[in-house]
């Protein structure tokens, strides 16, 4: 609904405007007020924050243009339509300076009024849609950023297979500074559910941001892993104070009972894994010593699940849908078994959204296409609405099947492009010393991959294709008769004429000399 304010001192004109709006735009426009003078118009604008104001210029107490100026200062997006019996240029000039583009001179036709009002309504609807899109985009960026944080941390603490380029790309995207940092691990007690991690991590991150430059975090099952980054942490007093604050927030502020482990300060991001291991070793020692033991079995479960996740991605990458589904079922079973029945599905849904995002990101990097954020967000909404394990498994199986089909098509197209380039190179350089190893380096792909791709596309090995091109060219040169067999051999890439003759006879069943004399 669009809110509209009428500011008109003439009773007849004011009632006419009300009648016009109610007659043509009932259910679309709500008239929030009918002001009789400039002061009342400004007061109503502050009170109701209308989207549109129909503003007369000559009104008692305060001029309509002055009211428009004051309203625009408070609410720049308010659409103001100037309605006046005066067509003086000075009025129009002032209106334009205030950012008011609609200026109707009385008397005006009903059609003209409706056209101007509808134009303002269209601008408002477009602005609302744009603002809504921006809000949704900001929410998506927040969620996706959290998932990328999770990938960075899991890669470090579980030793997964992200290469250095991928890892640095994520660090840059997340704007993670190269500064001093510490790792903190918070382990919940038995019976802690998904809410322990998700809610508490968000609260702790907000608190930590008041003390350090950057915080990234990861929550899974009944544990939270945080990395706090700030050069001030190199000061032992600051480091110790941060640890005390974490424990204070946990127990005194949030009334959460668990174990807090804070590691020593590190300076290299490459040491994140060892920083995490140090904290876990400390917590494990406390557990074994019986000091208010906190179970760490959930952490082992976390590592095991994410190792399986790595295997699932490899199965998808190998286009092995059955293998990927089998691993997915195993993961879901483990997730569900380590949680209370009431929260198990929440954990599964949260994990599936992470997995969907991870597969999408890895696929986009592998095949060189941009992630489709709207599709991912829509998938999250669908997963959140699912109520059973079977429904989620069927959904993810369908998604992985779609990904595998897309990857297969892209791989085929990519394979065809590479092989085409190799063939074009061979066609232009067959007289030179060419090897598949050199071409693999030239195209920045592995020798094995290029060899398999060439055989799959052409139905013959690279060596067989190179021999074919050389033999066909040699046949043309021998028919021409202007060159000796030795010259032909060298021109088509054979350093040894005798070997050329043997190869020619093997290929065509006749030696070069006899073929040239035909």
Cβ-contact 344, 336 below 8 angstroms: yes
Cβ-contact 429, 372 below 8 angstroms: no
Report pLDDT digits (tens) over 372-428.
Answer: 777 888 888 899 899 888 899 999 999 999 888 888 877 787 788 889 999 999 999
Of the candidate ranges 239-253, 336-350, 414-428, 454-468, the one whose mean pLDDT is the lowest: 336-350
297 band by pLDDT with thresholds 50, 70 and 90: very low
**What confidence score (pLDDT) does residue 441 get?**
84
Report pLDDT digits (tens) over 461-505.
Answer: 999 999 999 999 999 998 888 888 899 999 999 888 899 999 999
Number of other CB atoms surrounding residue 99 within 10 Å? 13
pLDDT at 364 > cutoff 80:
no
Report pLDDT digits (tens) over 71-99.
Answer: 988 998 889 888 776 655 565 556 556 66
**What confidence score (pLDDT) does residue 110 get?**
87
- Strand 181-188 and strand 258-262: the pairing is antiparallel
Rounded-to-integer distance, Cα 402 and Cα 377, Å: 17
**What confidence score (pLDDT) does residue 295 get?**
39
Tokens of 298: 């959930």
Q: What percent of the chain shows pLDDT beyond 70? A: 82
pLDDT at 49 > cutoff 90:
yes
Task: Using alpha carbons, list the distances in angstroms from residue 333 to 9, 194, 308, 336, 480.
Answer: 72, 16, 12, 5, 74
Tell me which residue has tokens 């050199």: 438
* DSSP track, 47-95: HH--SEEEEESS-SSS-HHHHHHHHHHH-TT-EEEEEES---HHHHHHH
Report pLDDT digits (tens) over 446-470.
Answer: 787 788 888 888 899 999 999 999 9
**pTM: predicted TM-score of the whole model, two decimal places:** 0.49
pLDDT higher at 503 or 298 = 503
Q: Average pLDDT over the chain, rounded to whole?
A: 81
Cβ-contact 63, 17 below 8 angstroms: no
Number of other CB atoms surrounding residue 236 within 10 Å? 10
185 band by pLDDT with thresholds 50, 70 and 90: confident
pLDDT at 339 > cutoff 60:
no
**Three-class SS state of 181:** strand
Rounded-to-integer distance, Cα 78 and Cα 49, Å: 8
| Cis preceding linkage at 277, omega within 30 | no
Report pLDDT digits (tens) over 209-235.
Answer: 888 988 888 776 667 888 999 999 889
**What confidence score (pLDDT) does residue 343 get?**
54
């Amino acid at each position: 609904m669009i809110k509209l304010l009428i500011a008109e001192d003439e009773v007849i004109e004011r009632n006419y405007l009300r009648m016009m709006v109610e007659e043509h735009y009932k259910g679309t426009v709500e008239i929030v007020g009918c002001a009789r003078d400039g002061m009342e118009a400004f007061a109503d604008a502050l009170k109701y924050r209308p989207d549109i104001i129909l503003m007369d210029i000559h009104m008692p107490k305060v001029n309509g243009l002055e009211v428009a100026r004051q309203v625009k200062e408070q609410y720049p997006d308010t659409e103001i339509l100037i309605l006046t019996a005066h067509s003086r240029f000075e009025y129009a000039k002032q209106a334009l300076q205030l950012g008011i583009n609609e200026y109707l001179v009385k008397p005006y036709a009903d059609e003209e009024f409706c056209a101007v009002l509808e134009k303002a309504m269209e601008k408002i609807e477009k602005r609302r849609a744009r603002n809504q899109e921006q809000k949704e985009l900001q929410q998506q960026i927040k969620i996706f950023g959290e998932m990328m944080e999770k990938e960075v941390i899991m890669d470090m603490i579980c030793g997964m297979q992200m290469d250095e380029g991928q890892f640095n790309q994520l660090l840059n995207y997340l704007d993670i500074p190269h500064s001093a940092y510490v790792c903190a691990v918070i382990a919940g007690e038995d019976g802690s559910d998904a809410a322990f991690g998700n809610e508490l991590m968000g609260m702790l991150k907000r608190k930590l941001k008041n003390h350090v430059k950057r915080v990234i975090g990861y929550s899974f099952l009944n544990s939270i892993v945080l990395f706090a980054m700030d050069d001030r942490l190199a000061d032992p007093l600051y480091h110790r104070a941060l640890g005390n604050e974490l424990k204070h927030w946990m127990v005194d502020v949030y009334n959460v009972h668990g174990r807090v482990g804070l590691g020593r300060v590190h300076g290299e991001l490459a040491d994140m894994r060892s920083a995490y291991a140090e904290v876990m070793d400390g917590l494990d020692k406390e557990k074994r010593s019986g000091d208010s033991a906190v179970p760490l079995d959930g952490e082992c479960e976390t590592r095991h699940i994410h190792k399986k996740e790595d295997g699932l991605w490899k199965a998808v990458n190998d286009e092995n849908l059955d293998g990927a589904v089998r691993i997915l079922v195993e993961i879901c079973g483990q997730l569900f078994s380590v949680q209370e029945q009431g929260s198990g599905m929440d954990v599964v849904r949260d994990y599936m959204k992470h997995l969907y995002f991870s597969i999408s990101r890895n696929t986009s990097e592998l095949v060189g296409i941009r992630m489709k954020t709207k599709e991912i967000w829509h998938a999250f909404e669908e997963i959140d609405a699912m109520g059973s394990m079977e429904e989620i498994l069927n959904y993810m199986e369908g998604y992985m099947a779609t990904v595998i089909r897309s990857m297969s098509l892209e791989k085929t197209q990519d394979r065809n492009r590479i092989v085409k380039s190799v063939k074009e190179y061979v066609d232009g350089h067959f007289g030179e010393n060419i090897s598949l190893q050199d071409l693999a380096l030239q195209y920045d792909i592995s020798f094995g991959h290029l060899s398999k791709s060439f055989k799959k596309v052409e139905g013959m090995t690279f060596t067989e294709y190179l021999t074919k091109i050389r033999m066909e060219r040699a046949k043309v040169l021998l028919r021409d008769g202007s060159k000796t067999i030795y010259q032909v051999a060298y021109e088509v890439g054979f350093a040894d004429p005798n070997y050329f003759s043997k190869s020619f006879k093997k290929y065509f069943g006749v030696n070069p000399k006899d073929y040239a004399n035909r």
